[in-house]
Amino acid sequence: DAGVTQSPTHLIKTRGQQVTLRCSPKSGHDTVSWYQQALGQGPQFIFQYYEEEERQRGNFPDRFSGHQFPNYSSELNVNALLLGDSALYLCASSLVPVMNTEAFFGQGTRLTVV
Amino acid sequence: AQSVTQPDIHITVSEGASLELRCNYSYGATPYLFWYVQSPGQGLQLLLKYFSGDTLVQGIKGFEAEFKRSQSSFNLRKPSVHWSDAAEYFCAVPGDYGGSQGNLIFGKGTKLSVKP
């Protein structure tokens, strides 16, 4: 059983560019959450998708957007990249957005903005 | 607002020694509490969680944690550390009351090093 898979594992972008990160949830999961983890920090919640809609959002600007597809996979898009967007981006999946279902994390995408 | 504080940035223990990692939380209701571990180059793995009931919670890999409401703490312990326990440990609370485990507020983490 494949767990949460994220692609790519690493990428380098230039300031001002746009980037798309992808996440495939664990088999049977229908809810996807995205986190940003800057170096030396804990993960910070960006947003959560369920039933192809953004259900919850953390304190991130509109440059961060997402999408969930009918097969439950998800994309995170970041526009107008800043140096400060350099971080590890983690995806977590769970079965329905309720407290008693465990969220499983992918290994992350390391984004470097130069 | 909910928050998590992990006072220790880096801890070094000898292999076979006991371990306690500290976590203090701020939460406006009966808290749900989590401990995660992140090994280098890996995602986060859930070690244990507290929802209600017994305040001493057992987790995977021989870890346990004790919820102390009076101290707003949820410290992680292990009686005997193994070299493979070297990793970063994160304490977390839900980002919204009664929400989901997909929306969590994490502490800044404690990096554990293990001496042979």
Residue range A21-43, pLDDT digits in tens = 999 999 999 999 999 999 999 99
For B3-115, the fitting CATH number among 1.10.3720.10, 2.60.40.10, 3.40.190.10, 2.60.290.11 is 2.60.40.10
Asked if B85 and B19 count as a contact pair (C-beta separation under 8 A), the reply is yes
Within 8 A of B42 by CB-CB distance, chain A residues are 107
Range of the domain at A74: 5-113
Is B101 in CB contact (< 8 Å) with chain A?
Answer: yes
Nearest-CA distance B10 → chain A (Å): 11
Is B105 in CB contact (< 8 Å) with chain A?
Answer: yes
According to the model, what pLDDT value does residue B42 have?
83
How many structural domains are present in chain A? 1
Best residue of A99, A104, A110 to probe chain B, by most B CBs closer than 10 Å = A99
Is A7 in CB contact (< 8 Å) with chain B?
Answer: no
Encode pLDDT of B6-57 as tens digits: 999 999 999 999 999 999 999 877 789 999 999 988 889 999 999 888 999 9
**Residue A84 is part of a domain; what is its CATH number?**
2.60.40.10
Show Cβ contacts of residue B53 under 8 Å, excluding neighbours closer than 6 positions.
none
Among B43, B105, B108, whose Cβ lies nearest the Cβ of A41? Answer: B108
Residue A1 has pLDDT above 90, yes or no: no
Burial status of residue B54 (CB atoms within 10 A of its CB: 0-12, 13-18, 19 or more): exposed
Nearest-CA distance B108 → chain A (Å): 4
Asked if A29 and A38 count as a contact pair (C-beta separation under 8 A), the reply is no
Nearest-CA distance B89 → chain A (Å): 9
| pLDDT average, residue stretch A62-86 | 98
